């Protein structure tokens, strides 16, 4: 009886712990200066929901006059432009019937020509309504904080119909999702200038606070502190955009006389050179100009399509409910039923949160409830799974240093380490850079490492590709073998194929080193021998290696050494030659008595694949 209850009690305890952690993270997230991982992930989910919702049709009340790269190229101007040029742009907008002109440019410093400021101010004064930006600048350091207010010059203040702050909020992942709705300076409250643009367009009163809530156009503006989420209509270029030079030259009105009629016209930078671009939920990799973000803010306010996030108590209640549901799902003893219920519940909640967001613009927490559901079902079997995985990981970590991941998976499936120790007929490969010691003496340690690491990585990748096992690295030398722990009858052919591809990889590396100005006149010698060796795990409890030992290993090493004497890239033994002669062409180089041998052995130069063109055949190098 107790045996049946124990898993349920353990599950209940672990679920309670996870629920407590998630609730604690929700509470910590209430601190204004803290963004928890759950919040960051929920930001990404809300971005996904925004993209799944798709691009929405803008209100049609906003157009953008872009200070873009085309205008810079067309005019030949350098930034900042003369304000007389902007004056002529505003005159064109006025002539086209623009209703509100929004200037997304700081006008706190005078133009080089005083008459340019007068011309720009006059043009703005002739607009039905004109709005620009102010800045509240705060600086701190060494125990003090200063606050300053940056506003337009007096000629502009005399004609403007509204001003406002224009601060974007970049979250921890640098994406702009919200703006500062209001701020204060010397006990005066300043709202985001989008509110002035909207109120002048709709001819309604400005925003105000009632019972600690921000009200505008008979709606409560949902805020998080003093920030407001932007309901982005789409990525960059969602709003009609005209080049400033085309507007200035009258081309825009010639093509469309109603381009500005009755519209809010925003003048701002879209050129990459002015760096007023930001990633948004729609365009994390293709940033959106700041002036178009303002257009999205204005449209959010005009249409009253605010995004509301669930309050903390709702988020916590959903997490507690998810914990209870997870416990109920974990009760059935049939795995397929449990998995099906889990997937249906998690998927159902995700879809429900998506529909609520699309239809009501209400953002529910997703990550914490989904984590609670998932862990609540998985935890009852967690201990057993972790124990099994720990043993597999130990074996996988040991062999991933030597062989390809695919081969490691095959070995893990055997679960028998003793079967790895045996005598086996395999092929052994040794490679070495010719003259590396002399070369390294001319290089700094950092340069040696920068050359060796890519070299060893590239050649090891080739060995893995052909089913080989990397035994060890000794400086620039590589020792590898083919045919164990996964046995291949064609191990000699695989070894020689790998050797040929290692030559190609070296050629690619040399080209890269040459382009980077590194030493690149580098040659490599490879020796291959086939025969019976002992292969297995050697070492102590503290350190163990999977390696090969035996006389045939020594012969492969001697063949690699002989590449220096014969000035030939690849030498193989007779036992290897007999196994590869159908596919590869080789010639007898010599019959020599190598160190450790009493009888001479035949050494073969590898020429190349049979039937290969001469350009692919190996060539010797100068001694």
- Name the 3-class secondary structure at 67: strand
535 is written with which tokens? 């292969």
* Pure H helices in 54-168: 69-75, 83-95, 114-126, 154-157
Q: What is the pTM of this model?
A: 0.60
Average model confidence (pLDDT) across the chain: 87
pLDDT in tens, 436-458: 777 777 788 888 888 888 899 99
Assign residue 91 a region (left: φ > 0; alpha: ψ between -120 and 50; beta: otherwise): alpha
| Same domain as 447, residue 320 | no
Beta bridge partners of 163: 132
- 394 in any annotated domain: no
The secondary structure of 167-230 as a DSSP string is -EEE-TTS-EEEEE-EEEETTEEEEBHHHHHHHHHHT-PPPEEETTEEEETTEE---BTTEEE-
Cα 82 to Cα 78: distance, rounded to the nearest angstrom: 9
* Pure H helices in 76-186: 83-95, 114-126, 154-157
pLDDT class of 30 with cuts at 50, 70, 90 = confident
| Same domain as 339, residue 244 | no
Predicted confidence at residue 173, as pLDDT, reads 87
| Same domain as 284, residue 179 | yes
| Same domain as 83, residue 60 | yes
| Same domain as 210, residue 76 | yes
| Same domain as 327, residue 231 | no
The secondary structure of 235-270 as a DSSP string is STT-S-EEEHHHHHTTHHHHH-TTSSTT-EEEEEE-
Q: Where does a domain end: 277, 305, 333?
A: 305
| Same domain as 283, residue 427 | no
- For residue 565, the domain's CATH number is 3.30.70.1230
- 497 in any annotated domain: yes
- 43 in any annotated domain: no
Cα 123 to Cα 108: distance, rounded to the nearest angstrom: 17
| Same domain as 130, residue 88 | yes
345 is written with which tokens? 């519940």
pLDDT in tens, 258-271: 999 999 999 999 99
Sign of CA dihedral 34, 35, 37, 42: positive
Average the pLDDT over each of 94-98, 282-286, 583-587, 593-597 and give the range with the smallest value.
Answer: 593-597
Cα 585 to Cα 572: distance, rounded to the nearest angstrom: 11
Under 8 Å CB-to-CB from 109, ≥6 apart: which residues? 153
416 is written with which tokens? 């028998």
Assign residue 400 a region (left: φ > 0; alpha: ψ between -120 and 50; beta: otherwise): alpha
How wide is the angle at C-alpha 229 spanned by C-alphas 224 and 231, nearest 5°?
155
Asked whether residue 2 carries a pLDDT value surpassing 50, the answer given is no
- 535 in any annotated domain: yes
| Same domain as 270, residue 164 | yes
Q: Where does a domain end: 279, 305, 331?
A: 305
**Listed residue (184, 111, 110) closest to 149, CA to CA:** 184
Q: Where does a domain end: 305, 337, 359?
A: 305
The residue range of the domain holding 355 is: 2-34+310-382
The secondary structure of 29-48 as a DSSP string is TTSTT---HHHHHHHHHHHH
pLDDT class of 74 with cuts at 50, 70, 90 = very high
- 622 in any annotated domain: no
Q: What domain count does the chain have?
A: 3
């Amino acid at each position: 009886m107790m045996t049946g209850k124990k898993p349920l009690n353990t599950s209940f305890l672990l679920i309670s712990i996870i629920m407590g952690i998630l609730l604690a993270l929700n509470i910590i997230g209430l601190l204004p200066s803290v963004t928890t991982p759950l919040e960051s992930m929920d930001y990404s989910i809300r971005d996904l929901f925004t993209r799944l919702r798709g691009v929405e049709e803008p209100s049609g009340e906003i157009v953008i006059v872009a200070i873009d790269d085309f205008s810079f190229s067309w005019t030949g101007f350098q930034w900042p432009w003369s304000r007389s040029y902007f004056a002529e742009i505003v005159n064109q907008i006025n002539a086209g019937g623009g209703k509100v002109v929004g200037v997304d440019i700081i006008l706190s410093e005078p133009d080089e020509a005083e008459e340019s400021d007068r011309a720009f101010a006059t043009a703005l004064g002739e607009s039905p309504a004109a709005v620009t930006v102010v800045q509240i600048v705060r600086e701190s350091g060494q125990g003090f904080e200063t606050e300053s207010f940056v506003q337009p010059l007096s000629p502009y203040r005399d004609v403007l119909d509204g001003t406002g702050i224009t601060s974007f909020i970049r979250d921890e992942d640098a994406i702009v999702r919200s703006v500062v709705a209001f701020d204060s300076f010397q006990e005066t409250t300043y709202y985001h200038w989008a509110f002035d643009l909207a109120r002048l367009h709709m001819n309604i009163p400005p925003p105000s606070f009632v019972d600690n809530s921000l009200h505008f156009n008979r709606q409560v503006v949902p805020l998080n502190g003093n920030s407001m989420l932007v309901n982005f209509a789409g990525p960059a270029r969602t709003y009609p955009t005209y080049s400033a030079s085309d507007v200035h030259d009258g081309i825009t009105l010639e093509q469309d006389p109603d381009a500005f009629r009755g519209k809010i016209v925003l003048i701002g930078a879209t050129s990459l050179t002015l760096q007023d671009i930001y990633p948004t939920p729609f365009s994390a990799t293709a940033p959106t100009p700041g002036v178009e973000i303002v257009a999205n803010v204005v449209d959010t306010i005009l249409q009253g399509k605010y995004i509301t996030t669930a309050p903390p108590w709702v988020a916590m209640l959903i997490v507690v409910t998810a914990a209870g549901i997870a416990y109920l799902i974990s009760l059935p003893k049939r795995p397929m039923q449990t998995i099906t219920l889990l997937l249906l519940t998690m998927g159902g909640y995700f879809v429900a949160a998506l529909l609520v967001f699309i239809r009501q613009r209400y953002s529910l927490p997703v990550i914490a409830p989904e984590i609670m559901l998932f862990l609540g079902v998985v935890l009852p079997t967690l201990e057993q799974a972790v124990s099994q995985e720990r043993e597999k990981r130990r074996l996988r970590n040991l062999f991933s240093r030597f062989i390809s991941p695919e081969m490691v998976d095959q070995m893990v499936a055997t679960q028998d380490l003793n079967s790895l120790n045996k005598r086996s007929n395999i092929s052994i490969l040794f490679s070495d850079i010719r003259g590396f010691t002399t070369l390294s003496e001319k290089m700094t340690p950092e340069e040696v490492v920068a050359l060796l690491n890519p070299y060893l990585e590239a050649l090891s990748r080739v060995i893995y590709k052909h089913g080989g096992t990397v035994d060890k690295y000794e400086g620039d030398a590589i020792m590898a073998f083919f045919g164990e722990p996964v046995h291949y009858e064609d191990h000699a052919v695989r070894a020689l194929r790998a050797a040929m591809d290692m030559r190609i990889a070296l050629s690619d590396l040399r080209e890269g080193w040459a382009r980077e100005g590194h030493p690149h006149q580098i040659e490599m010698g490879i020796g291959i021998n086939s025969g019976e060796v002992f292969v297995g795990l050697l070492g102590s409890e503290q350190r163990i290696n999977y390696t090969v030992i035996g006389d045939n290993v020594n012969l492969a090493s001697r063949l690699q050494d002989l590449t220096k004497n014969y000035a030939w890239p690849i030498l193989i033994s007779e036992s290897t030659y007999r196994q590869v002669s159908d596919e590869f062409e080789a010639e007898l180089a010599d019959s020599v008595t190598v160190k450790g041998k009493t009888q001479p052995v035949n050494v073969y130069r590898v020429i190349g694949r049979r039937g290969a063109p001469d350009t692919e055949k190996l060539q010797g190098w100068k001694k």
